[in-house]
Amino acid sequence: MKTVIVVFSDPKSGSEEALGRVFNALFLAYELKDKGQEFDLVFQGTGVRWPAELAKNDHPAHALYEAVLDHIVACGGCADVFGAGAGLAPTGIALVRDKTIPGTTGVLDLSRHLDAGNRLVTF
């Protein structure tokens, strides 16, 4: 069974809670990778702002981010809506736009993971 880890927390909140959420999401991803399990780490909603922060060498979660980077995707429509496209561009993270939603260029469809029987874990 595939695990889909979804980060909704917003780094702009500046809270320890937001940092704790993304850190725990990255740690879960790291654990699953270490165990050879199938997973995706998805940045959705305002969470699409995280990769630009995590890519900074001095960020406390940078090493975890780098360790699971090959499993990270982000919602393309969310990046557009929340102004994260420019920050995401240099990261090389794929922007997924598999569901057309009015007012967006397309969003990552989490329901497809539920349809496939995958488990979702949200942060």
The CATH number of residue 17's host domain is 3.40.1260.10
Q: What is the mean pLDDT of residues 88-112?
A: 93
C-alpha separations of 34 from 5, 8, 29 in Å: 15, 24, 9
Say how many domains are in the chain.
1
The reported pLDDT for the residue numbered 103 is 85
Q: Which of 80, 71, 76, 81 is closest to 32 using CA atoms?
A: 71
User: How many Cβ atoms sit within 10 Å of the Cβ of residue 36?
Assistant: 6
Instruction: Encode pLDDT of 43-81 as tens digits.
Output: 999 999 999 999 999 999 999 999 999 999 999 999 999
Q: In the predicted model, what is the mean pLDDT of residues 34-50?
A: 98
* Sheet strands side by side (includes 39-43): 94-96, 72-75, 39-43, 3-7, 119-122
Domain containing residue 118: 3-122
pLDDT at 69: 97
The pTM (predicted TM-score) of the whole model is 0.95
Q: Average model confidence (pLDDT) for the chain?
A: 96
